[in-house]
Amino acid sequence: MKVLVLNCGSSTVKYKLFNMEEERVLASGLAERIGSPGSRIIHRPEGREEYILPKGLPGHHEAVEAILYIMTGPEYGVIKNAGEIEAVGHRVVHGGNYFSRSVVVNDKVLELLAECISLAPLHNPPNIIGIQACQKMMPDALQVAVFDTAFHQTMPESAFLYAVPYEMYEHHLVRKYGFHGISHQYVAGVSAGMLGVRLEDLRVITCHLGNGASLCAIRGGKSLDTTMGFTPLAGLIMGTRCGDIDPAIIQYMSEKGNMGLSEVMEVLNKKSGVLGISGISSDFRDVEKASQNGHHRSELALDMFSYSVSKAIASLIPAIGGLDALVFTAGIGENSPDIRRRICRRLEYMGIRLDEEKNLIRGEKIGISTPGSTVRVLVIPTDEERMIAGETWGMCTANPVS
């Protein structure tokens, strides 16, 4: 059975085609710069060289069409026709209060997704267009929506409400939603396997540290709190995002910087975080290098980032009543021994001890704590596409198409 996973971002469509029985990735790739000059598709068929196709892609619909064309073409194709794809798993960023698990898409689901647009104006519209394009081009395939927010729907009210007038929640759904749920859920599941315990018995904090960064406190396989909030701007300091700040700063920055509200929000989303402090880059590789060369503000940015993560880890422990394991994942979590060391050093008071040599390993599934550490520390490469494919496959077996 073949499952296509699609992740439609604001100007990109990432895809991966799985053969589920054989656990093989038949092809993966990316349509980029959609709607801009220079749009193209980078296609990686299994066992063959990467192929780059420059192609005018005015919108996401055309991008999905072009991806299917390449995947079924004589030269770089991996399947004979689109009918071989039995299901498509769509990553959907925001499911609002409506979705606490993956769903098979129907008209009602599309309606609810459209209602969530005001919560994720940049992300949900391309997600919806991607679903509609696939419905048109693969009418027999099951379309499944897998949400970044769904995993966090198990948070208790005390964790997801903000202390603003309750009516703002009742009438306008102002609450913490949380994001990166697909990744948090995936690595938590893998961590239980690595530790040889049941997920139901595990208290784990997963640290998804990439361009966007968030932590999730998980007990019994359920998210009980997370650091991102109403939007992905909240929580940790990130590559370009400020994370938690005093909300009064927004008005003050607007007045002092002579900026409108949307301009302030743009600064907090795109020009803050590690980029804003270092003045060098949002990419940790650049900032780490500059810090090693004695650049003070880069060192400060790394210190502030890792301090914000260790502080947040400690603050999440009450949500799960203790801590058995800490998991690092995503670009920085998987690849930066320096950041992992900085974070764990501030947690030594809890008895967390890193094995310095194992910590030097990058991008591999590995335990990096010493045998005496009170908390097991793991590095687990995330694989959101595999998680989406698995969810989609599960929905297929529960909802056979014919």
Report the interface residues with ligand ADP, using CB under 6 A: 210-212, 239, 283-285, 288, 330-332, 335-336, 362
What six digits make up the tokens of 207? 């640290």
Closest CB to ligand ADP among 232 and 367? 232
* HSE of 71, CA atoms in CB hemisphere, 13 A: 26
In whole angstroms, how close is the CB of 208 to ligand ADP at the nearest point?
A: 8
Closest CB to ligand ADP among 86 and 288? 288
Q: Radius of gyration over alpha carbons of the chain, in Å? A: 22
**Among the options 107, 148, 303, 338, which is catalytic?**
148
In whole angstroms, how close is the CB of 35 to ligand ADP at the nearest point?
A: 19
Q: CA angle at residue 401 from 398 to 402, to 5 degrees?
A: 120
How many Å apart are CA 236 and CA 308, to the nearest integer?
Answer: 6
Q: Is 107 noted as a catalytic residue in this protein?
A: no
Closest CB to ligand ADP among 289 and 345? 289
Closest CB to ligand ADP among 282 and 369? 282
Q: How far is CA 1 from CA 104, 262, 299, in A?
A: 17, 46, 49
Q: Is the dihedral of CA 274, 272, 239, 390 positive or negative?
A: positive
In whole angstroms, how close is the CB of 381 to ligand ADP at the nearest point?
A: 10
How many Å apart are CA 125 and CA 64, to the nearest integer?
Answer: 15
* Closest residue to ligand ADP in the complex (CB): 331
How many CB atoms lie under 10 A from the CB of residue 206? 30
26: closest CA among 385, 387, 402? 385
The set of catalytic residues is 148
